[in-house]
A and B are shown apart, each in its own frame.
Chain A
């Protein structure tokens, strides 16, 4: 057995024998125990020896001695002094002692510390912090009282201590109070569970109240609220330098220290450090938290920021002393926010200059740097030799080796070249096993590095971990859900390689189909659909039932059910349709999310007798649904309703005028299969009246065919012209002009029916030149025929005679001249003074 360490005891009252030291000394195979007492370690005058004892006897005797000393009133050395300090007059000394007791988790200190909270003292917040760190339930009443305080520093310490004490009731009360403090918009956004929503709501809050809201969110300590609080402080400019936010930013930072939230400490300290390079803060008149009086207060002062920077390093050192297993991971988190842009790397010698925390972590043991305590910066010593190979310059190297995963964290998270170099060297030289011991997420993080060597390291490790015959499906799931393309692409490839394994397992099938990334869901759905043919009917039914049940649930996020829906639609539609009736399918169609609606549509399309049950009218309504899948299903059903449509072709008009292109395209194919001649002129004009160019073209084709058939075509061309002349669409207009010029019979009445058409052509600001000229010539021709037509034609042409288009102007004047010559009595704007004109220009004025 190893010898127990030397044990020191302290007696609070025995001045002459204040110190007692118990030692264990080996004498060959035997052991001698020694108890020495005295005033201090240099005056141990009362020495007693026990032994020689056999090792087994010595252990029992050692325990007996320790118990005896405790019975005499001795306590472990240090504790007593600390307890004594608690009773001192100096608040600073008391606070220091309380914190040390807290770190040491000395339960013996709970009572004295609680007693300290009974009177108002300056150091009370620190005392409460210490009580929280010790974590003894006896402190609950005192801590709860502090958590109810209005003053931020005491409330903060109280609530954070409650968390460490795991006081559920106290925490529930604190949470209720915190929610009350939040602005209404932020409180409402909390229900969404999304940090982005909370951040958006925070942006709406006035800056004056935003700080308190941010601190309260961090106090709530839920993933979304914590994330939102940090994003609100750190994203989009240094908002924490604002007068009403700064004190709350500091509060969040202090809470992070109390919680050992190293990521928050690192990010905030880094942000403060960087912002302090651009601003020295300001002096504002702010209301004091103590008495509510407005006072001139320094905001984001250089001294405060320097304190925070130093304090962050002190916190890391304290961790190293009292919780050594946490140090390396915390330091890794603190290194992560630094980038090369934060400092200048000068030459071959690593220099971190003003990045205080980073330098402390990476080079605290180095002898190459000089420290400037005023500016908290480092510079390289003149003529300092480069470090010898293998020299470890980082602080607490033994603690890094104690937690080699921290190196992997640095590799995955750090963006500063020096930090990356430090971790890379460690992982490749000293701790190659660190990568193997790291979690999937930690290895995956390496693939996001901007250093190709680190990415390669990560890929190598991932390849080592993946075996297609015995795939680690947890790893595959982790990879396919990554938001980084490179990582996800590896995941997708391995998902495909391992499909044979997981598609046979329903649980894994559902997990992959429900992956959080859309690409993963799509890929999984494709693979599952392809594998469906290999499954038996019973298995297909089981899977379909499970997927239907999932699709019917509300989606946690938009698109979360897309994978399930895709498999149901593409591979299991008929199986699922056989398992559910029309009611269930319609319920899905009316569902709240796209996945449910599309599955409902697929079921409708596969349900035997759906058309008969729904009826043609209802199917026509579904054909106008805003979801394409429902429209597709309804349009497919319409193929079976041809008899109904033939009986009532007008039913198609709704589809032909639909806003949806796919519906109109289908309706046009149905027009070919349903004889619209049944409706005669009315039907064809109804079709032509559409405002859609594709339908208008179809109508033109049908009308041309009908006209070509002659009188038997069932279309009265003149009636048709009278109607189509009113069409406002340019596409139809030019076609109708051609029709009119070819078929319009002589006579005033027929010409007058087309007046709107001619005017529309002539007054078009984007004219069809050919149509316009033909109309002018046509009007001239008809004007020459009789007086009534001359009057009408002259009137139309006169209105447009002053056109600035020279050719039209000349042509119009010539036309008017021809009409005037033929019928001088017709009112005209031109007067013919010469001989008969020769078209297009003539001697008119």
Chain B
């Protein structure tokens, strides 16, 4: 997907002796969105933006070594060896050796002579690569202005990390004007460096406007126009949607102190290993201090907080190096809340910075981008919704910009469950998002086109639920009466179920499920092949989904009998 962005000016930071201004240029091809205010705590903002930039440019995928030079050297050695074999005469051998040694000297001299040139060329390549990368691949962060908050969202270069910086109104000394909406901001390495010059002893104005810092930077030549054509992978968009799905899941959450995170990151910085496993294992034992264990050294780090739940939980997460992107925030962080979805599943680190919040979402592992085959949306339960329902919820959310599901349900008269389902669809089409820190839904149009009834219909038609083979198969299994609920026990958190399901392959398996009152899957296990191989990292299998359908069917029957 090619996404166009046009900026009238460039983002930048102006530094005067007593005042400064952060000017973020907005994409002119999107709805007019602006904000003008003054930062009250500029240093926190600076560090949060630095962390966001770190996430945006981070790429923790495995980078194989460039072995071209080594291979060329090896080939040269082979050639010399064969030449030596061919040369029979001793005199010729001596002459050859002399020539080789002379050649080696000349080569060394040439290398020495070319050093400055090669260094300059490398610098140029780096510059050109970065410049071209920014123009063609670096998708600028999405910024959304809401009445209570301005927030930035972005993905890392490897698409495995999601970051959200939310700045509440309290961050601003005063707000001169604002217009709610969502747009992109011109974001570059140069801007990140300029942001580092923000200081609290200078009054720092914060402007989100089409022109960015044009007035300050343009010389006699007039305004600066910048156009980007980003090759935005479909996975990037899918990633945004999957983040929302994961946030909607029932997550295991606990707080850690910044120094705990510092301890983990410091070990990761100092110790390297090539051995597997390289997971970060969270051990939550009821009533005891939480432990983070670093594999393969089995190095335990005892955290400051205790596990308050009544059940022991052990969750392994991979791609722990990505936590280094939070290093900049540690001195200013007040607390960090960790949200875990399960073994090898995404995790969220919510850093409380006072007036700012920073959320780092990490996919199951580094090579698995957020869309990488995982269908976490299937873990949440959705009722059927119509295009009119979606449109009604969208309209009800757009006006206040943020609201809880209950408030929206009241406003639309659809009921909480249906509203949640509609919100789930909206989140997955990029029209809304879940605010993990505020516990509310927020309006956010990811792309430029307006939401229409037609798009709502398309969203429903192409919703993952229908498109996903597992869900389709689950419906088929349920309709053909191949699901038997063996046990169904109400627990404080919802229901625990066990059943017997004959899947589409004809094999009978035993799924076990723990769902909350709203039907979201909290835990699950199955004897099928998919679960054995991937557990829930690729989403639930058809058997778990079919068992949930049977459970929901029973719930509806019970509701109906109660109403009678």
A interface residues, Cβ below 8 angstroms from B = 617-618, 621, 650, 653, 659, 679, 682-683, 686, 689-691, 722-723, 726, 728-729, 756, 759-760, 762-766, 799-805
Give 16 pairs: A residue, B residue, CB < 8 Å, sorted on A.
A618-B220, A659-B190, A683-B17, A726-B199, A726-B200, A728-B47, A728-B50, A728-B196, A759-B331, A800-B259, A802-B257, A802-B260, A802-B304, A804-B263, A804-B266, A805-B266
Which A residues touch B46, using CB under 8 A?
A: 728
Report A-chain residues with C-beta under 8 Å of the C-beta of B266.
Answer: 765, 804-805
Which A residue's beta carbon lies closest to that of B17?
A: A682
Among residues of A, the one whose C-beta sits closest to the C-beta of B265 is A765
Known contacts A686-B15, A759-B332, A765-B330; is-contact A801 B324 (Cβ 8 Å): no
Contact flags B192-212 to A (C-beta < 8 A → 1, else 0): 011011011100000000000
Whether B262 sits at the interface, judged by CB under 8 Å, is yes
Q: Is the interface of B mostly helix, strand, loop or mixed?
A: helix
Residue among A686, A723, A802 with the highest chain B CB neighbour number at 10 A: A802
Q: Is the CB of B258 within 8 A of A765?
A: no
- What are the residues of chain A within 8 A of B331 when measuring CB–CB? 756, 759-760, 762-764
Question: Does B18 belong to the interface (CB within 8 Å)?
Answer: yes
Is B416 an interface residue, CB under 8 A from the partner? no
Q: Which residues of B contact A762 (CB under 8 A)?
A: 331
Residues of B within 8 Å of A765, CB to CB, are 262, 265-266, 269, 324, 327, 330
Which residues on the A side are within 8 Å of B258 (C-beta)? 763, 799
Using A726-B199, A756-B43, A765-B265 as known contacts, say yes or no to A799 and B17 having CB atoms under 8 A apart.
no
Q: How far is the CB of A82 from chain B (nearest CB, A)?
A: 59
Bound Cα distance A729, B195 (Å): 12
Cβ B262 vs Cβ A689 within 8 A: no
Query: With A650-B17, A686-B17 in contact, is A802–B269 under 8 Å at CB?
Result: no
B267 interface residue, CB < 8 Å from A? Answer: yes
In chain B, what residue has the closest Cβ to A689?
A: B197
What residues of chain B lie closer than 8 Å to A803, measured between beta carbons?
Answer: 259, 262-263
Q: Does B301 contact A (CB under 8 A)?
A: yes
- Establish whether residues B193 and A691, one from each chain, have CB atoms under 8 Å apart when the complex forms: yes
B61 CB → nearest A CB, Å: 22
Residues of chain B with a CB closer than 8 A to A683's CB: 17
Q: Which of B15, B200, B328 contacts A689 (CB 8 A)?
A: B15
Interface string of B522-554 (1 = CB under 8 A from A): 000000000000000000000000000000000
Q: How far is the CB of A562 from chain B (nearest CB, A)?
A: 15
Q: How far does the alpha carbon of A723 sit from the alpha carbon of B50 in the complex, in Å? A: 19
* Nearest CB of A to B150, in Å: 22
- In the assembled complex, the Cα of A762 lies from the Cα of B262 at a distance in Å of 10
Give chain A residues whose Cβ lies under 8 Å from the Cβ of B222. none
A460 to B498, CA, bound (A): 92
Asked whether any CB of chain A lies closer than 8 Å to the CB of B219, the reply is yes
Q: Separation in Å of the A14 CB from the closest CB of chain B?
A: 75
CB within 8 A of B197: which of A691, A722, A800? A691
Q: Which interface residue of B50, B259, B263, B301 has the most chain A CB atoms within 10 A?
A: B259
Residue of chain A at shortest CB distance from B123: A661
Taking CB atoms, residues of chain A closer than 8 Å to B260 are: 802
Name the residue of chain A whose CB is nearest to the CB of B259.
A802
In the complex, are the beta carbons of A621 and B190 less than 8 A apart?
Answer: no
Q: Which residue of B is nearest A829, CB measured? A: B304
Task: Identify the closest chain A residue to B267 (Cβ).
Answer: A804
Inter-chain CA distance A842–B263, complex, in Å, is 23
Q: Top 5 closest A-B pairs, CB basis? A: A759-B331, A763-B331, A763-B330, A682-B17, A804-B263
Q: How many residues of B contact A (CB 8 A)?
A: 35
Q: How far is the CA of A762 from the CA of B332 in the complex (A)?
A: 11
Residues on B with beta carbons closer than 8 Å to the beta carbon of A659: 190
Q: Binary interface profile of B, 392-413, with partner A (CB < 8 Å = 1, else 0)?
A: 0000000000000000000000
Residues of A within 8 A of B330 (CB): 763, 765
Provide the bound-state CA to CA distance between A800 and B18, in Å: 34
Query: B259 near A621 (CB under 8 angstroms)?
Result: no
Q: Which residues of B contact A722 (CB under 8 A)?
A: 201
Cross-chain contact B43 with A689 (CB below 8 angstroms): no
**Which residues of A are found within 8 Å of B327, using beta-carbon distances?**
765
Given the complex of chains A and B, what is the CA–CA distance between A723 and B15 in angstroms?
14
Whether B263 lies near A682 (C-beta < 8 A) is no
- With a 10 A CB-CB cut-off, give which of B47, B220, B269, B331 has the most chain A CB atoms: B331
Q: What B residues does A690 contact at CB under 8 A?
A: 197
> What are the interface flags for B173-202 relative to A under an 8 Å C-beta threshold, 1 for contact and 0 otherwise?
000000000000000001001101101110
Q: Is the CB of A723 within 8 A of B262?
A: no
- A589 CB to closest chain B CB, in angstroms? 13
Complex: how many Å from CA A723 to CA B46?
15
Q: Tell me the B1-45 residues at the A interface (CB within 8 Å).
A: 15, 17-18, 43
**Chain B residue at minimal CB-CB distance from A653:** B15
How far does the Cβ of A345 sit from chain B's closest Cβ, in whole Å? 16
Least CB distance from B484 to A in Å reads 51
Most chain A CB neighbours (cut-off 10 Å) among B15, B262, B263: B262
CB distance from A620 to the nearest CB of B (A): 9
Known pairs A682-B18, A728-B47; A799 contacts B259 (CB<8 A): yes
Q: B338-393: which residues lie under 8 A (CB-CB) from chain A? A: none
B269 touches A766 (CB 8 A): yes
* Smallest CB gap from B263: residue in A: A804
Complex Cα gap A722–B219 (Å): 34
- A426–B451 Cα distance when bound, in Å, is 82
**Beta-carbon contact of B15 and A799 below 8 Å:** no
Complex-state Cα separation, A621 to B327, whole angstroms: 37
Complex Cα spacing A148 to B267, Å? 76
Shortest distance between the CB of B19 and any CB in chain A (Å): 11
Q: Is the CB of B263 within 8 A of A689?
A: no
Task: Decide: A726 and B17 in contact? CB cutoff 8 A.
Answer: no
Query: What chain A residues lie within 8 Å of B190 (beta carbons)?
Result: 659
Beyond A686-B15, A756-B43, A760-B331, is A691–B196 a contact (Cβ under 8 Å)? Answer: yes
Q: Nearest B residue to A723 by beta-carbon distance?
A: B201
Measured between alpha carbons, how far is A764 from B194 in the docked complex, in Å? 21
Contacts of A650 in B (CB 8 A): 17
A682 contact set on B, CB distance < 8 A: 17-18
Known: A621-B219, A686-B15, A804-B267. A726 touches B262 (CB 8 A): no
* Nearest chain A residue, comparing its CB with the CB of B268: A765
Distance in angstroms between the alpha carbons of A762 and B266 in the assembled complex: 12
- Among A691, A726, A766, point to the contact of B43 (Cβ < 8 A): A726
Give the complex CA separation of A804 and B47 in angstroms. 24
User: How far does the alpha carbon of A759 sit from the alpha carbon of B265 in the complex, in Å?
Assistant: 16
Q: Bound complex: CA of A152 vs CA of B3, how far in Å?
A: 42
A691 to B200, CA, bound (A): 16
Q: How many Å from the CB of B127 to the closest CB on chain A? A: 8
* Binary interface encoding of chain B residues 36-64 relative to chain A, with 1 for a CB under 8 A from any of its CBs, else 0: 00000001001100100000000000000
Residues of B within 8 A of A801 (CB): 259
For the complex with contacts A723-B199, A800-B262, A804-B263, 9 further pairs of A-B residues with Cβ separation under 8 Å are A618-B220, A689-B15, A690-B197, A691-B193, A726-B43, A726-B201, A728-B328, A756-B332, A765-B265
**0 or 1 for each of B107-146: is its CB under 8 Å from A? (1 = yes):** 0000000000000000000000000000000000000000
Residue of A nearest to B301 (CB): A804
Q: A679: which B residues are within 8 A, CB to CB?
A: 17
Q: What residues of chain B lie closer than 8 Å to A799, measured between beta carbons?
A: 257-259
- Nearest to B131 among chain A residues (CB) is A626
How many angstroms from the CA of A800 to the CA of B260 in the assembled complex?
A: 9
Bound complex: CA of A686 vs CA of B197, how far in Å?
9
Shortest C-beta distance, A665 to chain B (Å), equals 15
Interface residues of B in 493-517 (CB under 8 A from A): none
Which residues of chain B (266-286) have a CB below 8 Å from chain A? 266-267, 269
Residues of A within 8 A of B194 (CB): 691
Within 8 A of A (CB), among B285-322: 301, 304
B216 to nearest A CB, angstroms?
11
A316, chain B: closest CB distance, angstroms: 37
A803 to B304, CA, bound (A): 10
Complex formed: what's the CA distance from A679 to B16 in Å?
12
- Which residues on the B side are within 8 Å of A653 (C-beta)? 15
Question: CB-nearest residue of chain B relative to A724?
Answer: B199
